[in-house]
Copies of this chain bind each other. A is one copy, B any other.
Amino acid sequence: MRLSHMDEFSFIQSIRPKYYKQSSVIKGIGDDGAIVKPPFDSDLVMATDTMVNNIHFSLDYMTFEDVGYRVLAANLSDLAAMGSSPLYYLVNITSPKYMTNSNLKRIIDGMKELAGQYKMDLIGGDTTSGNELVITVTVLGSLPNSKYRLRSSARLNDIVFVTGNLGESGYGLKLLQSNVEHHYFNQKHIRPSPRIDFVDATTNVKRMCLNDISDGLSSELYEIAEASKVSIAIDWAEVPFHDEMASLDHTELRKLTLSSGEDFELVGTCSDEDWNKIREVCDQHQIKVTQIGQVIDDMTTQPTVYINEYGKRKRLNREGYKHGKN
């Protein structure tokens, strides 16, 4: 059963935007569907993510606003990984009976806080009852000039790079679960920043392969390697992490930087020429980018990811561990 008519009506009224920031929204919330007229010279990108309470987030250490913020951030990260600028979003919430309309509104408020940074409009959704809190967000973005940033576009000898630092969200989560308050790392987990800034800065770059780091660096590198039918070698010494994490146990540091996901940073590959351009514009916009490796020819037919460490090259597996004895 959905919310009762009056409850649903008042809830929708409470979240319905007073005006839409995107002039392409013809009809937003309030009919059987939304109508938009996207820019005619752009392609449209769509992505969707579902998060479940106590699996992808927890109300134990997150506010309702945090939860909304984080679910939308994960979706915006997918848009970023496609090289796309955000336009609209839709929200579906299944919630247990003990949750009030005011709780639901706070989830939406958290989303609106993030959406507002990108002039994104909430244009639709659905609310239902259920046993647990399940939130689905679907985002749409524009992609001008056919600048596709696909996983399959890595080429031999490309530079492999990442944005920001790795493992901060995972470290923040660990601290939260141990009841350790550390604003910087905690917030990296609770309110991650999707790298839309990187997308906006690099619209003129000719060719880029991009993935967002939602499941851990190793896993994302394998996705690129397999989609592009190439092999990749990264250097452990170049993997960027926060100074304060340097004192962590080596095994833990490797796990956080190579295997823990949801940093929502980007990993990509590009030519030497494009890398110079990327460094230049990222420098202008104060976005940290680091070369961590290269696309290589390892003379095999099986796309593989390697890590160079202490002068040796070893195979990495998807989970971020080296093959054979570590």
Residues of A within 8 A of B (CB): 1, 5, 26-27, 30-38, 40, 43-52, 55-56, 77-79, 81-82, 84, 88, 90, 92, 94, 123-132, 134, 136, 138, 140-141, 143, 148, 150-152, 210-212, 215, 219, 227, 318
Contact = CB atoms under 8 A, between A and B. Distances in A.
Contacts of A27: 148, 150
A219 B5 contact: yes
A178 B93 CA distance: 31
Number of this chain's copies in the assembly equals: 2
Contact of A150 (B31, B81, B128): B31
Given A130-B132, A132-B130, A148-B26, A32 B5 contact: no
Given A5-B318, A33-B84, 17 more contacts: A31-B81, A31-B151, A31-B227, A32-B47, A32-B78, A32-B81, A34-B45, A35-B45, A36-B46, A37-B43, A38-B38, A46-B90, A46-B123, A48-B138, A49-B126, A56-B128, A130-B132
**Which 10 pairs show the lowest CB-CB distances between chains A and B?**
A33-B47, A32-B81, A32-B78, A33-B82, A50-B92, A136-B136, A40-B40, A52-B130, A92-B136, A33-B45
Contact of A211 (B32, B45, B90): B32
28 contacts: A1-B55, A5-B215, A26-B43, A27-B150, A30-B151, A30-B227, A31-B82, A31-B150, A32-B77, A32-B79, A32-B81, A32-B82, A33-B45, A33-B47, A33-B78, A33-B81, A35-B44, A36-B43, A46-B124, A47-B124, A48-B92, A48-B125, A51-B128, A56-B128, A92-B92, A94-B134, A128-B134, A132-B132
Contacts of A210: 32
A150 B278 CA distance: 46
A32 B212 contact: yes
A94 B52 contact: yes
B134 A35 contact: no
A44 B82 CA distance: 20
Contacts of A131: 131-132
Contacts of A77: 32
Contact of A90 (B37, B48, B88, B227): B48
A51 B38 CA distance: 29
B30 A46 contact: no
Contacts of A128: 50-52, 55-56, 134
A150 B50 CA distance: 30
Contacts of A125: 48
Contact of A143 (B35, B47, B78, B94): B35
